[in-house]
Amino acid sequence: METRLTYPASLRLIRAARRDSSLVITHLDENPAWREDAPPCTNINDALLAWPGESHALRDGAKLFVLVPREGDRSCSRRLCYRICEKGLPARSFVAVSRPGFPPIVTESPELCVIRAAADLTLKVRQGTLDKNAALIRLVELIDELCGRYVRHPSGPRNEPLAYDLEPITSVDRLARYLHDVRRINGTPFARQALHYAIDNLGSPMEALLEMACCLPPHLGGINLPKPVSNQPLDFSRHERTLVSHVSLRPDLYWEKYRIAGEYNGHDHDDKDASDEDDRRVSDYQACSIKVFPARYRNVSSGRGLDEHLRKLIDAMAVVEGPRWGQRVRATLASSTYQQARQVLLDTMLPPRPRHGQRDATITESMSAKS
């Protein structure tokens, strides 16, 4: 029987493949038949297409999660955990991953990984080990990652370096179509709920945090602003092209209705060249009558910092929406219920504090090629 990966091994391999160009993901429009005459992988890291010591290789004693078509296909291996494959999975439930030196492997698709993660988080909520809102925020961020231009580390997603400036592996629309076709699989309702809050093309977890702080409902720590688009090139008029120094601009967050751009500037923006580039970008935004609101880590790492940043956005949007709208949204910031939810959002999204002498890899984000 072939070895076919299931969550969390499937997500581990997908993350590794997004980071390493020697691993190639092929989307499968139809679910492949089980190859019952194929030999299983005898080395668990062969199933992950991993050489010893690579970032996605499993350590000694760790278990590989595999999918089998029937109960009777389980074996007595101490290194394997099994999931019985549901009947009637919709198309696009699997992808093939290949790499020179290894036989190709079939693994669950990013879309099915989202459902598996939703089921896992739902179980933790039922067991009382995770707050429901924190679980939903985690799931939204996983969708943002898979639909975005960054990827977390396959074996240390919370505290190991991320990779940036990548092509998304799926999209909100693709996930919506997949979830529409799913029937009776654990985690599906929670996945559908999380998808409602996700957006495409975010460039980092900090951009995701900023977007959530703006757009999630107050009970999840946001202020319910309209959704922006992320990292999409702006359309310059012929006149505007004569005013700007960049061929194109791709704001981290952009609200077309309000002509507002939001930017997250990480630590890599601290040197003079990066600072000069930031100034040029701000000048170009202003030349096009776009209000720009840059944010640094201090703006997103505390409730007070977020409040100050969000008030500026609210004031700018209220010019279009009117003073009553602005008063109503600012009142949310003063709500104790919202403030408690905002802290859950921050605690869930911010990276763990680095050890003494280390700089957190999640905070030190690469500068996207936006010019």
Structural domain boundaries of the chain?
Answer: 4-108, 202-371
DSSP 8-state code for residue 116: H
Which residue do the tokens 């231009």 mark? 149
297, pLDDT greater than 70: yes
Average pLDDT score over residue span 192-219 = 98
Q: Is the peptide bond before 8 cis (omega within 30 degrees of 0)?
A: yes
pLDDT digits (tens, 9 = 90+) for 82-103: 999 999 999 999 999 999 999 9
pLDDT digits (tens, 9 = 90+) for 282-292: 888 888 889 99
pLDDT digits (tens, 9 = 90+) for 54-71: 999 999 889 999 999 998
Q: What is the model's pLDDT at position 357?
A: 47
**Amino acid found at 107:** T
Average pLDDT score over residue span 247-269 = 86
Q: Using alpha carbons, list the distances in angstroms from residue 118 to 47, 89, 172, 191, 279.
A: 24, 16, 16, 6, 41
Q: Is 335 helix (H, G, I), strand (E, B) or coil?
A: coil
* pTM beyond 0.85: yes
pLDDT digits (tens, 9 = 90+) for 133-189: 999 999 999 999 999 999 999 999 999 999 999 999 999 999 999 999 999 999 999
Which residues lie closer than 8 Å to 344 by C-beta, 6 or more apart?
A: 131, 133, 134, 137, 220, 221
| In the chain, alpha helices (H) | 9-19, 44-47, 110-126, 132-146, 172-181, 188-195, 205-215, 238-241, 272-287, 297-300, 303-321, 323-334, 336-349
